[in-house]
Amino acid sequence: MYRDPVESLEPLHDSRLAVTRTLRVGMIGIGTVGSGTFRVLARNQAEIAARAGRAIELVIVAARNLERAANILGGSVPLTADPMQVATHPEVDVVVEVAGGTGPALDWVLAAIAHGKHVVTANKALLAVHGARIFAAAREQGVVVAYEGAVAVSIPIVKALREGLAANRIEWVAGIINGTTNFILSKMRDEGLDFAAALAQAQALGYAEADPTFDIEGIDAAHKLTLLAANAFGMPLRFADAQVEGISGLQGIDVACAEQLGFRIKLLGVARRRAAGVELRVQPALVPADHLMAQVKGSMNAVMVKSDAAGLTMYYGAGAGSEQTASAVIADLVDVARLDGVDAAQHVPHLGFHAHATNALQVLPRAAVDTWHYLRVPVRGVSQIQAVTACLGEQKVPVRQVALAAERPGQGPQVLVLTGLVAQGTVDLAVHALQEHAAVAGAVTTLRVEELAG
């Protein structure tokens, strides 16, 4: 099979594509992602057409700043200041929405669908919050809503879950799915920066927005995790039920103590199937330092999937970037181009499972989630280790490792504890008991530990 003759692409360009109607694209937004999409479409048009089986042409663009947009497009594409004109344009087959937001963007997308147009979007917030409505409208109209660029940018994880792993029962999905926070955590570890200094560096380099709330508080990762969980388990979109904790309260001492114990801290999105439901959570967690996930540095992303047949698989790539996101957007356009003449019933389902087969799995409450935990307990003296472990024992928290933190300037003695598998509710009660204990000298810090084993 590897020695089959290779057919030249030239005849395909000259003849076969000529008889297939061009896929006409209207784009809303010409910022970072939109400009990257335009550049890649223009630069790789022959390659893209050869893969799609037809040419893909940008025929109209909506932009807030028409002068800036004209400079980017070089006068090659008509412009409008009205996104709804793109959404309803009679000469547009597919609308690419890369403007962002969950307000007007919803109106544009629904209008495009109502006019029988396919939609490609990189807007994870829009889909996590309004996806159920959008996908229902798309099914009714027989059109596609594609969103690979909304989840992990250059990593084709949506396609992997709903196509490459279609034979599998997915057990869990876990990943570093926000490049900004991974950059900050990498700086805190590698350069010993505190959170504020690492954030300032991220903003100076363009990795973080002026208002970084969605990133540092875990909201962006929760949007993406919501989409991953739906594709992994066939469950409805449950963004409102996700348990979300960011990294703004993370202290440098915990990054150092994690290293001392052989771990690194990463902001993880975790969706795990359990007998009683699904864990859906974003939180900073300790990962073993020798684990592949711990090696993901800077603004890179990585997603691991545990399934019954394929086993443990990992997907790694850029978590941000203009052309990196454009790569995913255009891959979706190629998929749409290939659907010409295909009955809507044969389309790949938007969330990986056909609507009639959706599994109404419930999200487990925070207190019921069982994981390992890390605790840092400030104590009044090094002799208080036994008092800490005794208190944890009284609260039914299993202890598998205890150590004293390495001395740090300005810090008193700190007891470090790694627990066994225990429910979050039990740990919360234990932390409350420790705070009331005479041996404890300050606030107790607790983080989950994720071993991500196969």
Give CA angle at 195 (189, 201), nearest 5°: 85
Angle at 213 between CA 207 and CA 214, to 5 degrees: 80
Specify the amino acid at residue 130: H
The sign of the dihedral angle between the CA atoms of 89, 91, 93, 99 is: negative
Alpha helices in 81-123 (DSSP H): 83-87, 104-114
Whose tokens are 């490792």? That residue is: 401
What span, in angstroms and rounded, lies between the C-alpha atoms of 182 and 319? 9
Please give the structure tokens belonging to residue 384: 């208080």
Which residues are annotated as catalytic? 224
CA distances from 265 to 187, 361, 398, 446 (A): 12, 29, 22, 12
* Burial class for 149, CB neighbours closer than 10 Å (0-12, 13-18, 19+): buried
**Lookup: tokens for 214:** 């969605």
Report the alpha-carbon distance of residue 282 to residue 221 in Å, rounded: 7
The sign one gets for the Cα dihedral 389, 395, 400, 406 is negative
Other Cβ atoms less than 10 A from the Cβ of 51: the count is: 16
The one-letter code for the residue type at 339 is L
Amino acid identity of residue 418, one-letter, is L
